[in-house]
Every structure is written in structure tokens, then in C-alpha cells.
Amino acid sequence: MVIALVILVVLVVVLAVIAAVQFYAHRVRSANLKHIQNQLNSIITEGTNEKLLVFTSDQALIPVLIEMNRLLEHNQQRAADFMKMEQAMRKMISNISHDLKTPLTVVLGYLETLDLHPDISEEERKALQGKVYAKANEVLELIHKFFDLARLESGDKRIELSPVDINEVSRKNILAFYDTLTAKGFEVLIEIPDNPLLVWGNEEALERILNNLISNAIQHGGEGKTLGLTLRADDDFVYMEVWDRGKGISELHQERVFERMYTLEDSRNKFFQGSGLGLTITKRLVEAQEGVIRIHSKPYEKTVFTVQLKRLSFSK
């Protein structure tokens, strides 16, 4: 009888201890959950980039906290990306408005001159009409760039890929600029291997990429009076390099020159100070061909844009 009573007392004590432990654990978990709730409320209300900090030995809460922090980080990154995109759009609108306003103002000035001075000579009239035509083309080119970029980024402009002989594309495009280069006194250095290199790409897009990069080197890297086009390859990729020895681009800006609407206050040339569309379109065209474009610049030594594309083997 005594033994039974002792056993009963022990059981009661054990159950009481278990109940107390469970009650304490419940209170601790409730306190942790309340703390988590308050932290979440503060982070969401104040829009901070903080994470949840709860020190607990509760093995069930630890993975929940980890996943909640991942979710917070994801949402914070989305918010940062959205703010960055919004700022880029505002700058885009400002830049395009400015770039449209300037030539249109000039056009209106020429037209006003023609209207107010009907007695000007035929030679002067033709000269003014030619300037109006040139400025109108500037506006049209900017509009085309804007819509091209919009179509590339929305996916509406499909780039069909197929095997392309990059040697032939390179020769044809540098030849199209040769007279301009020689007239401006450029030294032209071309390195295109004799053996044909086949890439996975789009001939029209490749021609536009080369056109953009060569034009940029002529117009804005002209201080060095040198332009180069180099084609090289390894087992997996073909590398197309367009380079010059002009003023170059500072290291601070090299990682950002391809960003949409990014412009430089102290850039090496007007190309980067305009709407900020040219290099972005070039990058989108490269990426649409599953390629990569990079820049490396040392002022007055070498500024090189490198386009990397997948190499294909010629069928025997």
C-alpha cells in the first residue's frame, strides 16, 4: 500500500513537472511569437532593411525565422529594384525630353528664319533646309532607339538565332567604315583569323552591334587616332573586340555604362551624356544571342568592348 502511494506521489510530481515545463515552454514560445510580431510590424511600418533577431532554442521556430528572413530579404530587394527602376524611368523621361527638345528647338529656329526672311538667297534656303532635315533625322533616330529598347526589354522583338560566320560579318562592317576612318586619319588595326569562326547568333543583330561599337570608337575615342577590331576564339567561345586609344572611361563607371538610361556627368564623350540608350541596346542584342559584353578601359592606352558569343563547329 505504501509502495503504491509512493508511486502515485512520484507520478503526480512528474506530471506536475511536465506540466510546469510545458507551461514555461508555452510562455516562452508565446513571448517569442509576440516579439516576432512586433519586429515584423516595425519592419513593415517603417520600411527598414532589418532582419528578425530572436535568440531561441526552440527548434521549431528556428527554420521559420530563417524562412521569414529570406522572405524579408526578397521583398526588400524587390522594393530596391522597383525604386531603382522608377528612378531610371524618371531619368529616361528627363533625358529623352531634353534630347527631343534640343533638335526640335533648332528646327523651329531654322523654320522661323525661313518664314521671316522670304528674300534670302536660294543657296541659304537650301542650306537651312538641309539643317532642318538633319535635325529631324536626329529626332527620328532617337525615337527609333527608344522603341527598339522597349521592344527588346518587353520581348516583342524576337532575335532568331542560327549559325553565323563572324569573320565575314566583321570584315564587311569594318570595310563599310574604312573610308571614314582613313579620312579622319585613324590607324586601323584589324586582326581576323584566316580560319572561319562560326557563332550562334543573328547576322542583322551582329551587324548592328558592330556598327554601334565602331561608330562610338570613331566619334568618341578619336583622341588616340587608332581603332582596332580583333577576332579571337577558344574551344567554347568567340571574342569580338572593338577598341580605341582615346580618353577612355573611368573604372568607377565601367560597370554601369550598360545600364538602361545611365549617363555620365564626366564621361569621355557625348555618347554617354545623351539618352543613355545606345550601349543598353547593344547589350540587349548581345544577350539576346546568349552572349556577354564587357568593357575594360585604361585612358589613352586602350578602351575595349569585348563581345563573347558561343562558338560552333563547322560540319564536315
- Does 166 lie in the same domain as 24? no
Backbone angles phi, psi at 157, to 5 degrees: -95, 100
> What confidence tens digit (pLDDT) does each residue in 84-110 have?
777 766 766 776 776 677 778 888 888
CATH number of the domain encompassing residue 189 = 3.30.565.10
- Does 191 lie in the same domain as 149? no
Mean pLDDT of all residues belonging to the chain: 80
> What confidence tens digit (pLDDT) does each residue in 108-152 have?
888 888 888 888 888 888 888 888 888 888 788 778 777 777 777
3-state class of 228 per DSSP? strand
Q: Is the pLDDT of residue 35 over 60?
A: yes
Q: Which domain holds residue 44?
A: 2-58
Contact indicator for 274, 262 with CB cutoff of 8 Å? no
Q: Tell whether 221 is covered by a domain.
A: yes
Contact indicator for 192, 231 with CB cutoff of 8 Å? yes
Q: Tell whether 66 is covered by a domain.
A: no
pTM of the entire predicted model: 0.61
- Does 145 lie in the same domain as 178? no
- Does 166 lie in the same domain as 297? yes
d(CA 294, CA 258): 9
Buried b (16+ CB within 10 A) or exposed e, 266-292: ebbbebbebbbbbbbbbbbbbebbebe
Lowest mean pLDDT among 26-40, 127-141, 214-228, 235-249: 26-40
- Does 137 lie in the same domain as 51? no
d(CA 5, CA 137): 104
- Does 299 lie in the same domain as 215? yes
Contact indicator for 54, 35 with CB cutoff of 8 Å? yes
For residue 134, what pLDDT is reported?
A: 85
For residue 244, what pLDDT is reported?
A: 93
- When divided into structural domains, the chain yields a total of 3
Q: Which of 15, 39, 58 is the last residue of a domain?
A: 58
- Does 173 lie in the same domain as 112? no
d(CA 14, CA 272): 78
